[in-house]
């Protein structure tokens, strides 16, 4: 009797095992074939889980913040000295900026430049770090209901952080410039060379596809070129740097270490990819 | 007595699923957004494996499936890929250890090392074949090494938890 029961139980277990593995294989194939629909389902699930789990996340974030605040107190004197030095430098830069602003206004008037009145933004709070070891992205608490769409640029006030790659009703995912599946068309401010900034999961993405790399020098400013009409042009990415092995990299202007709020640029004029799943590779 | 055992088994299964769920969410806490130079270890896999080794009967395949699939969804992993190899690996080890009630700590670490290295390799191969972008191989190797280094600590914690539970039930 016991042996028969055991045999029956083993059969049930085997059946469950085959059922689960079949479901997983089918799910993976479905994800590869019909990425768009599956990603939409993923976002519907995230919409339900993450905003309702903030009571889990916020105590830990606060605890970590307290520890880092405490650590920063111990370096207060050094920081004060650094800030004084920075302030001195900034005073010089302020003067330069004021002069440049005047010059820019004059030139804009001369050229009859009209800035897009449609460009606006919406600010979102960082909800969760959705990046796995192989994917660098975050979730924001703004989504379709706030007018966010796939492909919109996300900045932190200093520079470009990434672009929206997947939108739910209440949440949206920002794919970082540093992510391995991120490629942004850029232009070097100084000489107009065009290229691509490609993420490789390090803090400094690679600057690639430059026509004449020997013309590129460390420190040159990089901005978005606006090619492909997904990201608006002239958004600051950072400066060129040269790696020890000679690879051109980008020192990003955005401060990735203190991201709490992000600004998503809403530009109705820009071309939104009709198949958002195509933006999401993994 | 039998009823008490069933009650304990259900509690253990619930504890496994709840703790895994909490861990999945906690690992998403936006502590440091900065792209790290070194990857963060896969604590969820460590936890699932450690819980499974110390209590094989109360870690059902359906539980592993649910927890790992949820992580696939929330962590933007390729859906079903890691979970598939995870379920396969866990069942293979369950079959291999079916006659043994407990194994030594050293053997457990050896099993986990083999399990995780093979899973990571299989996932990387499938991702390569299916042209899914992945991180640089040095990053993947570091990820495996950090996870392997984290496992002993996770295992000790889970063993401690089980010892406490057992002594509570026995008393």
Please give the Cα distance from A62 to A58 (Å, whole number). Answer: 6
With vertex at residue A237, the alpha carbon angle to CA A97 and CA B138, rounded to the nearest 5 degrees, is 145
What is the pTM for the complete model shown?
0.73
Contacts of A24 in chain B (CB under 8 A): 65, 69, 80, 83-84, 87
Beta carbons of A21 and B87 less than 8 Å apart:
yes
Give the closest-approach CA distance of A280 to chain B in angstroms: 10
Chain B residue numbers with beta carbons less than 8 Å from the beta carbon of A134 are 134-135, 139-140, 143
Per-residue pLDDT, A279: 46
**Average pLDDT score over residue span A246-263:** 84
Residues A130 and A140: their CA atoms lie apart, in Å, by: 10
Question: How many Å lie between the alpha carbon of A90 and the closest alpha carbon of chain B?
Answer: 25
Supply angle C-alpha A227, A229, A231, rounded to 5: 90
Cα separation values, A65 from A56, A59, A60, A62, B47, Å? 15, 10, 8, 5, 26
CB-based contacts of B109: which residues, under 8 Å, 6+ apart? Answer: B151, B152, B155
Contact call for A16 and B61, based on CB within 8 A: yes
CB contact under 8 A, B133 and A180: yes
Confidence at residue A133, expressed as pLDDT on a 0 to 100 scale: 58
d(Cα B120, Cα B138) in Å, to the nearest integer?
A: 13
Among the residues of chain A, which ranges form H helices? Answer: 2-33, 35-49, 54-74, 76-111
End-to-end CA distance of chain B: 13
Average model confidence (pLDDT) for chain A? 81
Residue B50 confidence class, pLDDT cut points 50, 70, 90: very high
- Put simply, the answer to whether A200 touches B31 (Cβ < 8 Å) is no
Place of tokens 């991201």: A259
Residues of A in contact with B143 (CB under 8 A): 133-134
Phi, psi angle pair for A244, to nearest 5°: -65, -30
Paired residues of A194 in beta bridges: A187
The per-residue pLDDT of chain B, averaged, comes to 85
Cα–Cα distance for residue pair B44/B82, rounded to 1 Å: 12
Tokens of A168: 């739910």
How far out from the chain centre does Cα A236 lie?
14
- Per-residue pLDDT for A275 more than 80? no
* Cβ separation B78–A282 shorter than 8 A: yes
Whether A141 contacts A51, CB under 8 Å:
yes
Q: In which band, very low, low, confident or very high, does the pLDDT at B119 lie, cut at 50, 70 and 90?
A: very high
The radius of gyration of chain A from alpha carbons, rounded to an integer in Å, stands at 24
Residue with tokens 């039930």: B169
Could you tell me the pLDDT band of residue A197, with boundaries at 50, 70 and 90?
very high
Apex A131 CA angle, A129 and A135, nearest 5: 155
Contact B26 A56 (CB under 8 A): yes
pLDDT band at B153 (very low <50, low <70, confident <90, very high): very high
Q: Do residues A223 and A236 lie in contact, with contact meaning Cβ atoms separated by under 8 Å?
A: yes
SS3 (DSSP) at A165: strand
A201 Cα to chain B: minimum distance (Å): 7
> Taking residues A219-245, what's their average pLDDT?
85
DSSP secondary structure code for residue A17 in this structure: H
pLDDT, greater one: B49 or A117? B49
Question: Measured between beta carbons, which residues in chain B are less than 8 angstroms from residue A282?
Answer: 76-78, 132-133
Output the CA–CA distances (angstroms, integers) from residue B67 to B63, B91, B108, in the order listed. Answer: 6, 15, 22
* pLDDT tens per residue, range A209-219: 888 888 888 88
What ipTM was reported for this prediction?
Answer: 0.87
Considering only A261-265, A268-272, A277-281, which range has the smallest mean pLDDT? A277-281
Q: Enumerate long-range contacts of A27-33, CB under 8 Å, 24 or more apart.
A: A27/B69, A27/B79, A27/B80, A28/B78, A28/B79, A28/B80, A28/B81, A28/B84, A30/B79, A31/B78, A31/B79, A31/B80, A32/B130
pLDDT at position A280: 46
A240 near A191, Cβ under 8 Å? no
**Chain A residues touching B91 at Cβ < 8 A:** 17
**A224 in Cβ contact with A186 (< 8 Å):** yes
Q: What is the pLDDT of residue B122?
A: 94
Which backbone phi and psi does B111 adopt, to 5 degrees?
-60, -45
């Amino acid at each position: 009797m016991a042996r028969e029961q055991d045999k029956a139980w083993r059969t049930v277990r085997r059946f469950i095992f085959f059922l689960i593995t079949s479901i997983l294989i089918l799910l993976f194939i479905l994800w590869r074939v019909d990425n768009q629909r599956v990603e939409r389902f993923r976002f519907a699930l995230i919409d339900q889980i993450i905003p309702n789990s903030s009571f889990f996340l916020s105590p830990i974030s606060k605890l970590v913040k307290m520890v880092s605040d405490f650590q920063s107190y111990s370096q207060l004197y050094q920081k004060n000295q650094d800030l004084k030095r920075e302030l001195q430098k900034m005073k010089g830069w302020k003067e330069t900026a004021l002069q440049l602003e005047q010059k820019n206004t004059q030139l804009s008037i001369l050229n009859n430049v009209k800035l897009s009145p449609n460009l606006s933004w919406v600010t979102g709070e960082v909800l969760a770090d959705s990046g796995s070891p192989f994917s660098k992205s975050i979730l924001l608490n703004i989504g379709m209901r706030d007018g966010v769409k796939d492909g919109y640029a996300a900045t932190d006030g200093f520079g470009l952080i990434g672009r929206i790659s997947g939108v739910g009703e209440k949440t949206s995912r920002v794919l970082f410039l540093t992510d391995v599946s991120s490629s942004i068309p850029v232009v070097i401010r100084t000489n107009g060379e065009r290229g691509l900034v490609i993420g490789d999961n390090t803090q400094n993405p690679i600057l690639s596809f430059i026509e004449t790399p020997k013309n590129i020098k460390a420190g040159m400013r990089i901005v978005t070129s606006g090619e492909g009409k997904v990201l608006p042009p002239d958004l600051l990415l950072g400066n060129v740097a040269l790696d020890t092995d000679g690879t051109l990299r980008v020192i990003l202007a955005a401060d990735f270490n203190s991201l709490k709020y992000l600004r998503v640029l809403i530009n109705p004029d820009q071309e939104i990819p009709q198949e958002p799943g195509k933006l999401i590779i993994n | 007595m039998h009823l008490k055992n069933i009650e304990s088994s259900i509690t253990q299964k619930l504890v496994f699923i709840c703790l895994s769920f909490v861990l999945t969410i906690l690992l998403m806490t936006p502590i440091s957004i900065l792209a790290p130079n070194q990857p963060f270890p896969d604590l969820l896999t460590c936890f699932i494996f450690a819980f499974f080794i110390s209590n094989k009967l109360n870690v059902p395949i359906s539980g592993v499936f649910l927890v790992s699939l949820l992580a696939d969804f929330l962590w933007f992993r390729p859906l079903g890929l890691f979970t598939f190899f995870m379920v396969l690996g866990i069942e293979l080890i369950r079959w291999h250890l079916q006659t043994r009630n407990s194994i030594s700590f050293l053997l457990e670490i050896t099993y986990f090392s083999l399990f995780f290295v093979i899973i990571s390799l299989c996932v990387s191969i499938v991702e390569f074949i299916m042209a899914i972008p992945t991180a640089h191989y040095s990053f993947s190797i570091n990820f495996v090494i950090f996870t392997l280094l984290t496992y002993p600590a996770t295992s000790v914690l889970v063993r401690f938890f089980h010892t406490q539970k057992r002594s509570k039930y026995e008393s």
